[in-house]
Amino acid sequence: MALAGKKIALFVENLYQEIEVWYPYYRMKEAGADIVFIGPEKGAVYESKYDYPVKAEMGINEADIAMFDALIIPGGYAPDMMRRNKKMIEFVRAMDGAGKIVAAICHAGWMLTSADIVRGKKVTSFSAIADDMKHAGGEWRDEEVVRDGNLITSRKPDDLPAFCRTIIQALEERSAP
């Protein structure tokens, strides 16, 4: 399995976009990765935009970047809730600072702007937040997936196949001899 031995953090918060959580979850799991749902509180149940629940296996206060190879941040309205949590922002910033894979789709770009990690990077996002990405110093592009070093961004659910392929490829490259 391509991602055997890799551990990926997947952020969750209320009003997440269902497909942007569950598609990457099962795709990374299928590739052999260990996925951990991280929310503001361990054991808390977070509802999606359409009431599909997910339980946080780990709270952000106990999450340590040393435990993870990558972070996936889904969209929906959840990123607006996540960025109100200083610890979640610090985790994103620390993962990026350590050169680990940080992958964000749709409105998750808000987390990247709040963590101040798009400055000088090529990025994409849902078109409604393109201005936010540009104002944070990112070079915004209207493409299904954009990878700039360890940062991987996509626009919307239709881009999930390319988004997940790019995450897997980036993690495989880190495993190559």
Known catalytic residues?
106-107
Which among 12, 19, 54, 42 has a CA at the least distance from the CA of 163? 19
Question: For residue 103, which amino acid is it?
Answer: A
Exposure string over 124-146, b if 16+ CB within 10 A, otherwise e: bbbeebbebbeebebebbeebbb
3-class secondary structure, 53: strand
Q: CA–CA separation, 146 vs 58, rounded Å? A: 29
Measure the CA–CA gap between 28 and 22, rounded to whole angstroms: 10
> Measured between alpha carbons, how far is 85 from 133 in angstroms, rounded to an integer?
19
Whose tokens are 């299904």? That residue is: 144
